[in-house]
Structure 1
């Protein structure tokens, strides 16, 4: 029976159940598909309440993406017409 997830133990069980369902060949519109959708919504609700993720600033997002790509701020400057543009953008503090 599906119910609101209130504890970490219930959360872990829901994750295990979702994983188990994902391993099956589920047909869209089936009872299993509906169950997976409901479990996913319950997991999402629990995570939003217990593990909130604050949105990053645009500057932090740019720096993070540069890091993911293995690029430097110097390489970013090649994308700007004026070299000081990238320094100005990346030095702006989030208010």
Structure 2
């Protein structure tokens, strides 16, 4: 059996993914399954270092939800309290407050950790 080493290059990463794919149906508690687990951990580590996903910006999350739901700024007035507040928050002139964050979490499903970031 070939030695298992850390993934350091994109080529090694692609090869590891191919090996993972070939082992995906391995029986639990088998040698192949253990190899699948180890290779998956190595691939995950490489991905976290090289393909890290930036945290979602709360204003961009709100705009995304608006676009997905076909909403205009005026549709957010009941959740923000006023037309001016909607405009100021979306233009980043005013921060989100806890009341608005709670409304967005409850009514739009925007995760609290996204709304509390930045």
Determine the C-alpha separation between the residues in 2 that align with 1:6 and 1:49.
Answer: 10
Query: What do residues 41-81 of structure 1 show as CA deviations (whole Å, max 9, x unaligned)?
Result: 111211222223221222222323444x3533447516626
The higher radius of gyration belongs to 2
State the TM-score, normalizing by the size of structure 2. Answer: 0.57
State the TM-score, normalizing by the size of structure 1. Answer: 0.67
**How big is the alpha-carbon RMSD for the aligned residues of Structure 1 and Structure 2?**
2.9
Q: Which runs of 4+ in 1 moved over 6 A?
A: none
Count residues in correspondence. Answer: 92
Q: In the alignment, which residue of structure 2 is the partner of 1:61?
A: 61
Query: Which residues of structure 2 form unaligned runs of 5+?
Result: 96-117
Q: In the alignment, which residue of structure 2 is the partner of 1:6?
A: 8
Query: Which residues of structure 1 form unaligned runs of 5+?
Result: none
